[in-house]
Amino acid sequence: MEELCAELYTQEKIRGFLHLYIGEEAVVTGVMSLLKPEDNVMATYREHGHALLKGVSARSIMAEMYGKVDGCSHGRGGSMHLISIKDRFFGGNAIVAAGIPQAVGLAFASKKLKENRQTVCFFGEGAMAEGVFHEALNMAELWKIPILFCCENNFYAMGTALSRSQSQLELTKKAEAHNVTSSTVDGMNVFEVIEKTKAALEFIKNEGRPYFLELQTYRFRPHSMFDPELYRNKEEVLKWKERDPINFFKNQIDKNILTDAVLRDLEKKVEDEMQDAVAFAESSAFEPLEDLEKNLYENDIQGSIEGIH
Amino acid sequence: MKMTYREALRESIKNALDHDPRTYLMGEDVGAYGGTYAVTKDFLELYGPERVIDAPLSEDGFTGIGIGAAIGGLRPIVEIMTVNFALLALDQIINSAASFRHMSGGQVSVPLVIRTTTGGGRQVAAQHSNSFEGWIAHIPGLKILAPATVDDARSFLHFALEDQDPVLIFEHALLLNKSEEVSEKPQMINPYKAIVRKEGSALTVITYGGMLSRCLEAAANKDGVEVIDLRSLRPLDNETIFSSVRKTHHVLIVDEGWKSGSLSAEISARITENCFYDLDAPVQRLCRKEIPIPYARHLELAAIPQVKEIATKIQEMLS
């Protein structure tokens, strides 16, 4: 899907900002495999994979990126704001770290309403430099709010390496400074992601306290489509590519289960699903201009009062 | 019976906590301290720490939590001690609370209520005397209320909590001890309509919040002055404003914000656009002088419109 998006972007079908997840797949796949439809997920602007695995259809995602009315956010959000309430997928946040306290709020509500619902919040390591990250972790631990914090550490906040921007590189220590229990995970190994996430979710369920997972991973593509990647060298990227999570997975699975035929079949299914999504997006309509000022308030109070000049 | 503005706010929060189990109050010093302005004194004992939550100094964070909790099905009443500190939470308020419904194509509702105290005049200097409600009213997606009377202080929270969108209530610091005659039960008047507090046909004075009582005092013995209390700063009640202007042909706007780029500038522009041929003179404005508020009393009084200044201006405009 991500590769297709890159292609479509060069064809100008997708505009604005596009942030690809290629290389980080094991993180979202591992974590999401343990969640249920009623669980809450908050993510960042690099969230296509998160949306897809939370149940937002590829059609709905593609149409959103095309800016069409059948997109999950009806074309109002675009790539960075994939939101689907019915799938409990809350986006899709472009302000780094802003979603973290919001996810704590979602978990807080679930706890108060006695819902059987888990809450997971994804963010990058860059977000840990924002003040609000600390505010949110402090309050989550202070008030015993059951939430899983997943830091997707891909070692670069846009173009700034972690080592150049944070004084404490052992990221779990930052969570521990707020008394939040934490551990580090090899984010290129989907099995380890699953194992450690499972343990974290158990902890949250039993202790009723937050948990912080640092998942170490790497994005093989630039930050976004505009990034000339002046800040890192090709050798580093190639080294991480040797640990490609999809290849790793393929190599770990028993060849009698993941036969060539099964693999070809899977790849074809994916190809078909993506082509279908693109066809859907192409044929979907744009929202009519008359609806420009709608969906600002529940009852369009601005519309009824502002239409003077 | 008589009731103070403080008692009115207190009653409205009590009603909310009593009648809707989804509501909770979260802010700095709302519990053990009894509220920085004593509005929530004893509430911690009455409602317990699950409903009245003392937050750490984390405006950005606890406003964000309020947003998440509201989306998640609760009805948070977030108290930001003063509008001065609300600046720390503006990213959450503007980029998230105000934007989510639109950005998600109408899916997300953020029924968040933020109460904060605004206004200057107690010699607490620049960083504690701001009046940002007019400036924050620039943002689409928010609703901005400024209760100026005890009646409105009693009812606004109820309307705000019923709203599916974020509502900010700006309570004025100098009104807390104001006492007014009220009826047994709170008057529930739609907050999104401005109210004519004094009728007249020679001059329209438009104002809100802490300035209302000053305008009424300044207009007290003068015939022909009509005083409009905006009550809602976003959306603005154009109808009430325009029909008054069409009647009096003269307008004075008294706004506690700084003059440049203020809410009064917005109202003035709307009047010019819609009532140009009804005006006999340009729209006039009395606002804060363009400086951060100074500590020394005489300087502070000179920086914020006072009754005398308003009265002089009204007299000038009437002759």
Active site residue B7: no
pLDDT in tens, B220-244: 999 999 999 999 999 999 999 999 9
H/E run at residue A215: strand A211-216
Q: Which of B165, B169, B82, B154 is nearest to B118 (CA)?
A: B82
pLDDT in tens, A33-72: 999 999 999 999 999 999 999 999 999 999 999 999 999 9
Active site residue B128: yes
Rounded to a whole number, what is the distance in Å from the CA of B148 to chain A's nearest CA?
22
- Looking at residue A6, what DSSP letter applies? H
Q: What is the mean pLDDT of residues B155-174?
A: 97
Burial of A273 from C-beta contacts in 10 A (0-12 / 13-18 / 19+): middle
The position carrying tokens 């003040």 is A131
Show the DSSP H helices in chain B as ranges.
5-19, 43-47, 59-71, 83-86, 90, 100-103, 133-136, 150-162, 211-219, 238-248, 263-275, 297-303, 307-318
Which of A43-52, A101-110, A293-302 shows the lowest per-residue confidence on average (mean pLDDT)?
A: A293-302
Put simply, the answer to whether A139 touches B24 (Cβ < 8 Å) is no
pLDDT of B283 over the 60 cut? yes
Rounded to a whole number, what is the distance in Å from the CA of A50 to chain B's nearest CA?
16
Report the chain B residue with the minimal C-alpha distance to residue A42. Answer: B68
Q: What is the mean pLDDT of residues A10-17?
A: 87
| A91 in contact with chain B, both atoms CB, cutoff 8 A | yes
Contact indicator for B247, B201 with CB cutoff of 8 Å: yes
pLDDT at A142: 98
Rounded to a whole number, what is the distance in Å from the CA of A205 to chain B's nearest CA?
19
pLDDT of A245 over the 70 cut? yes
Give dist(CA A174, CA B232) in Å, integer.
43
pLDDT of A306 over the 50 cut? no
Rounded to a whole number, what is the distance in Å from the CA of A63 to chain B's nearest CA?
13
| A301 in contact with chain B, both atoms CB, cutoff 8 A | yes
| A105 in contact with chain B, both atoms CB, cutoff 8 A | yes
Put simply, the answer to whether A302 touches B96 (Cβ < 8 Å) is no
In three-state secondary structure terms, A33 is coil
Q: Is the peptide bond before A210 cis (omega within 30 degrees of 0)?
A: no
pTM for the model? 0.96
Candidates B22, B65, B70; nearest CB to A139: B65
In three-state secondary structure terms, A303 is helix
Mutate to test the interface with B, among A297, A301, A302 (most CBs of B within 10 A): A297
Q: Which of residues 4-43 of A touch B (CB under 8 A)?
A: 40, 42
pLDDT at A304: 44
Put simply, the answer to whether B64 touches A100 (Cβ < 8 Å) is yes
Give dist(CA A116, CA A96) in Å, integer.
28
What are the structure tokens assigned to A86, written together? 């019915």
| A67 in contact with chain B, both atoms CB, cutoff 8 A | no
Q: What is the mean pLDDT of residues A189-216?
A: 97
pLDDT in tens, B56-78: 999 999 999 999 999 999 999 99
Q: What is the mean pLDDT of residues A148-167?
A: 96
